[in-house]
Amino acid sequence: MSIKREDGNFRVSIKFSKKTSESMELKAFLFSRKKKLIESVIVKNDEAVFKTKVKKTSDVILLVVPNKKGVERVTDYRVLVSKYKAYKPIIKLNDKRKFEILPIPEKFLPLWFIRKCRVVGNVSKSFNINNFIERRGLCNMRIHICEVDKIHWLIPRIPDDIFIKIPDLVFNPEIPIPVPSLPDPPIPPLPDPQRFRNFRDIDNIFSATSFLRPDLNMSSVDREIGLSNIIQPILTNDNIVRTLKSKNPGLIKNMIINK
C-alpha cells in the first residue's frame, strides 16, 4: 500500500491490549526486508514516530522490545529476536488512515525476557477456487500456541470408562476388514505393472514426510499378522497382563504413566 504522509514521518500506534499497572518503556526498530536496520526510536504516548518515509508497509519490518540496558547498541535483527525476544507485529492501516499494530497481549509484558519459545511462520488455509484447491495466506491473524500437556498430566483427566475398554482391545481385538467400493462398469483393464517398475514409491514423491502410506489393499490375514506383532510384546509382559486383567482403571492409569 502506498500512503503519503504530510509531515514525511512514519507513525505507528503501539499499544497493549489492556492498560498495565507495570510501566515499561518500549523501543521500536525499523528494518528493511533484507533485515538491515533503518532506524530505531523510543515509543512515546503509545506511538513510534520514525523520520523514515515509508511508502509500503511490506517494505519494512517492525520490531518492538523493552528499552533495557544494552538494547540501544543492538543493530542486528537476529540478536533482537533471539536474545531480547523482540515482538514482531504486522503493520496495518486502520479506519482513520493511521498505521497501527494488533495490541500486544498484556500477559506478554511480565514474561517478556523469560520466554523460551520463539515461533516464526506463516498462516495459510486451503481454498476451493474454480474446483482447484489452493493454499492462500491469511492476513491480520493472531495465533495462540499452547503447550501440550505431558502424558502424566493428561492421563489422570481421561475418564475411567475409557481405561476399562483397554483390556478388551488388547486381549480380544477386532480386526477391521475394509470393503473397497467397486467402480461402475465397464472396469478398465489393469495396466502392465512392468511399465511402472521404477515408480514403486510414486505415492511418496510429493509427501510431506518420509512415512509410507498404509496399504489400503492389505488382506485380512496380513492385518491380523500386523496387529499380532503389536500386541505380542504386551502379552509377554506378566506385569502388564496382570494389570490389564484386573480391569482396574486406577492401576491401568499408573501403569501407563510409569512406563
> Each residue of 214-249: pLDDT tens digit?
555 566 667 777 777 777 878 888 888 888 888 888
Q: Are residues 136 and 246 in the same domain?
A: no
pLDDT at residue 13, rounded to an integer: 92
pLDDT at residue 8, rounded to an integer: 62
- Give domain status of residue 138, yes or no: yes
Beta strands in 82-231 (DSSP E): 91-93, 99-101, 124-129, 132-137
Beta strands in the chain (DSSP E): 10-13, 26-32, 37-42, 47-50, 60-66, 91-93, 99-101, 124-129, 132-137
Extract the residue ranges of the chain whose pLDDT is less than 50.
1-6, 196-213
- Regarding pTM above 0.85, the answer is no
Enclosing domain of residue 209: 151-178+193-258
pLDDT at residue 148, rounded to an integer: 60
Q: Distance (Å, rounded) from C-alpha 86 to C-alpha 89?
A: 10
pLDDT at residue 147, rounded to an integer: 64
Report the candidate in 158, 147, 95, 162 with the shortest Cα–Cα distance to residue 116.
147
Q: Are residues 220 and 137 in the same domain?
A: no
| Overall residue count recorded for the chain in this entry | 259
pLDDT at residue 129, rounded to an integer: 86
Q: Are residues 51 and 137 in the same domain?
A: yes
Q: Are residues 156 and 139 in the same domain?
A: no
pLDDT at residue 95, rounded to an integer: 79
Q: Are residues 128 and 174 in the same domain?
A: no
**b/e 202-238 (16+ beta carbons within 10 angstroms → b):** eeeeeeeeeeeeeeeeeeeeebeeeeeeeeeeeeeee
Q: How far is CA 79 from its chain centroid?
A: 23
